[in-house]
Amino acid sequence: MAAYSSIVDSFAAHNNTMPLLRFITFLLLILSVQTSYGQSSAELKKRKDAINREIESLKKTRSKIDKNKKLSLSQITLLNAQIKLREEKIGTINSEIKMLDNKISTNTSEVKALQSDLSRLKKEYAKMILFAFRNQGAYNKMMFVFAAKDFNQAYMRLKYIQQVGKFRKSQAKYIETTQVTLKKQISILDENKRQKSDLLSDQLNEKQTLGKDKNEQSKILNNLTKQEKTLQAQLAKKQKEASSLNNAIQAAIRKEILAAQRRAAEKARLAEQARQAKLAAAAKAKATTTAKTPTPAAATKPAVKPASGSSVLASSPEDAKLSSSFMGNRGRLQKPAQGIVTQGFGQYKYKSNVTLFNPGINIKTAAGATVYAIFEGQVSQVFMVLNNYAVMVRHGEYFTIYSKLRSVSVSAGQKVSTRQAIGTVANDPSDGISEMQFQIWKGTKPVDPSGWVR
């Protein structure tokens, strides 16, 4: 009876709902970690797949150029873009590996915790079964109930006896569920390790391919350097094109600034006239009432000077609102055309003594791809640069420029909306590449578009 009392009292002291609550909490933790991992992993895999598609597209374009047996700067540009994409892919793989390492560590801890819990549960269950076998008779149970101090304790002991059987069954089910969960977690852990092994293999292959691409890049550069005349002609063409476009953009912006200054000056002049007229009327009224000389005009406040420089472009309420709205969408604007960015913003070195500044980003597209305005605004100017069109759209103090276009569907002074088609991309007859250039200017200074478009 003492033994039976001990096991039942132990059962009474042990809250049988706590293991179940801990188990449910444990399962929810596992599910939440797996869901978070799944979402992040899916995003990384999606980006990696996109990079693979872009690399294949660049390889096909380079293959077409190589068939022409002509060395060109376009080969270097495309190969540089391909190298950059491979480096980004390696970075993405590294992120996946890091996530898997964290997941493997978490799963290993979960498996160890489940194994420890399962071992403890089995030991407790074994003791319970052994005791039940030794106390199959009803005598000990009845003696345990009758040995109670009072009726309430006897009733409680009777209820405990009834619940022992149920508890043993629930523990058996709990052990079974824990075993299933443990098996599942071990399977997931094994899959994580396999995925990491595949990623490490993929990473090694990408590094080897990256090395080959860089060797090819060096080879093409050496061949171009040997063909000095060809290289100089291509560089001269690029410089002429960049200079012509830059001059046209600056001239158009200066024109916009002058027009805005004239409007601001006229507005200030009219405001000053109205103010002086108001002061004169007030002085006349005072002279009539008091018969005194009116206050001299010199005592009045001076007129407010209109804004100067590029800030005048956002001096009107409408332009200020448009500038603020454009700025507020930074990082969320879509690219002006579907394609791959082959060259970014900044200085690019082609020879030891030759560097070119790219004031925007170059986007390789499909032949005749449609170009869209990235934000609402007004077309400032449409101009020709080396037989191709360029469109400049004003957004208050900001300007977006879309160049290397075969055709345009807008005209100067026209209002455009976000994602409105404004033209199509031209095809370079020398290498067959369809590529547009996109720029963003704030007043008279170009800014890096990569921080604006997603």
The pLDDT tens digits of the residues spanning 262-300 come to: 887 888 788 888 888 888 888 878 777 765 555 554 444
Give the rounded percent of residues in the chain with a pLDDT score beyond 70.
75
**Does a structural domain hold residue 330?**
no
Radius of gyration of the chain (CA): 39
What pLDDT was estimated at residue 411? Answer: 95
Residue tagged 């409680």 (tokens): 156
Query: Where does the pLDDT of residue 79 fall: very low under 50, low under 70, confident under 90, or very high at 90 and above?
Result: confident
Q: Say what the pLDDT of residue 37 is.
A: 52
Q: How many domains does the chain have?
A: 3
Residue 438 is part of a domain; what is its CATH number? 2.70.70.10
pLDDT band at 231 (very low <50, low <70, confident <90, very high): low
Pick the last residue of a domain from 298, 314, 330: 314
Average pLDDT over residues 11-38: 51
> Is 407 or 106 the better-scoring residue by pLDDT?
407
Give residues with Cβ within 8 angstroms of 116, minimum separation 6.
none
Are 74 and 190 in a shared domain?
A: yes
On whether residue 17 sits in a domain, the answer given is yes
* Same domain assignment for residues 261 and 158: no
Residues 307, 256 share a domain: yes
395 and 354 in a single domain? The answer is yes
Q: Are residues 364 and 417 in the same domain?
A: yes
**Per-residue pLDDT at 334 exceeds 80:** yes
- What pLDDT was estimated at residue 374? 96
Residue 332 counted as domain residue: no
pLDDT grade for 18, boundaries at 50, 70 and 90: very low
User: Are 78 and 342 spatial neighbours (Cβ–Cβ below 8 Å)?
Assistant: yes
Range 124-137 average pLDDT: 66
> Does pLDDT of 27 surpass 90?
no
Per DSSP, 125 falls in state H
Whether residue 260 is contained in a domain is answered as: yes
Residue 26, pLDDT score: 53
Burial string for 381-391 (b: 16+ CB within 10 Å, else e) reads bbbebeebbbb
Closest by CA position to 141, among listed 172, 170, 165, 123: 165
Q: Which two tokens stand for residue 154?
A: 């006897």
Q: Which of 193-197, 347-351, 367-371, 401-405 has the lowest mean pLDDT?
A: 347-351
| CA-closest candidate to residue 415, choices 322, 332, 336 | 322
Spell out the SS3 assignment of the chain: CHHHHHHHHHHHHCCCHHHHHHHHHHHHHHHHHHHHHHHHHHHHHHHHHHHHHHHHHHHHHHHHHHHCCCCCHHHHHHHHHHHHHHHHHHHHHHHHHHHHHHHHHHHHHHHHHHHHHHHHHHHHHHHHHHHHHHCCCCHHHHHHHHCCCCHHHHHHHHHHHHHHHHHHHHHHHHHHHHHHHHHHHHHHHHHHHHHHHHHHHHHHHHHHHHHHHHHHHHHHHHHHHHCHHHHHHHHHHHHHHHHHHHHHHHHHHHHHHHHHHHHHHHHHHHHHHHHHHHHHHHHHHHHHHHCCCCCCHHHCCCCCCCCCHHHHHHCCHHHHHHHHHHHHCCCCECCCCCCEEEECCEEEEEECCEEEEECEEEEECCCCCEEECCCCEEEEEEEEECCEEEEEEEECCEEEEEEEEEEECCCCCCEECCCCEEEEECECCCCCCEEEEEEEEECCEEECHHHCEC
**Are the CB atoms for 253 and 444 separated by under 8 Å?**
yes
Quick check: is 319 in a domain? no
Q: Give me the pLDDT at residue 109, please.
A: 81
Residue 206 and residue 137 share a domain: yes
Q: Among residues 226, 251, 279, which one ends one of the domains?
A: 226
| 76 in the same domain as 35 | yes
Look over the chain and give the mean of its residue pLDDT values, rounded to a whole number. 78
Residue 49 shares a structural domain with residue 102: yes
pLDDT at position 208 over 50: yes
pLDDT band at 210 (very low <50, low <70, confident <90, very high): confident
Q: Examine the pLDDT at 213 and tell me if it is beyond 70.
A: yes
Give the separation between CA 434 and CA 425, rounded to whole angstroms: 6
Q: Do 299 and 346 share a domain, yes or no?
A: no
- Give me 16's structure tokens: 């049988």
Does residue 78 sit within a domain?
yes
DSSP H or E run through 153: helix 151-226
Q: Which domain holds residue 297?
A: 237-314
Indicate if the pLDDT at residue 385 is higher than 90.
no
Which of the given ranges, 6-15, 25-34, 56-65, has the highest pLDDT on average?
56-65
- Residue 67 confidence (pLDDT) above 90: no
Do 16 and 142 belong to one domain?
A: yes
Residue in the block written with tokens 């909306």: 417
Looking at 226, 255, 278, which one is the last position of a domain? 226
**The pairing of beta strand 398-408 with beta strand 421-425:** antiparallel
pLDDT for 236-263, tens place per residue?
777 788 888 888 888 888 888 888 888 8
Is 423 a residue whose pLDDT tops 90?
A: yes
Q: Is residue 384 part of a domain?
A: yes
Q: 21: pLDDT confidence band, cut at 50, 70 and 90?
A: low
Q: Which residues pair with 343 in a beta bridge?
A: 362
Question: For residue 408, what pLDDT is reported?
Answer: 96
Looking at the fold, whether 164 and 304 belong to one and the same domain comes out as no
Amino acid 225: pLDDT: 65
**Residue 322 belongs to a domain:** no
Angstrom distance (rounded) from CA 173 to CA 381: 77
The per-residue pLDDT for 418 is 96
More confident residue, 373 or 429: 373
For residues 335-341, give the mean pLDDT. Answer: 92
Q: Do 214 and 82 fall within a single domain? A: yes
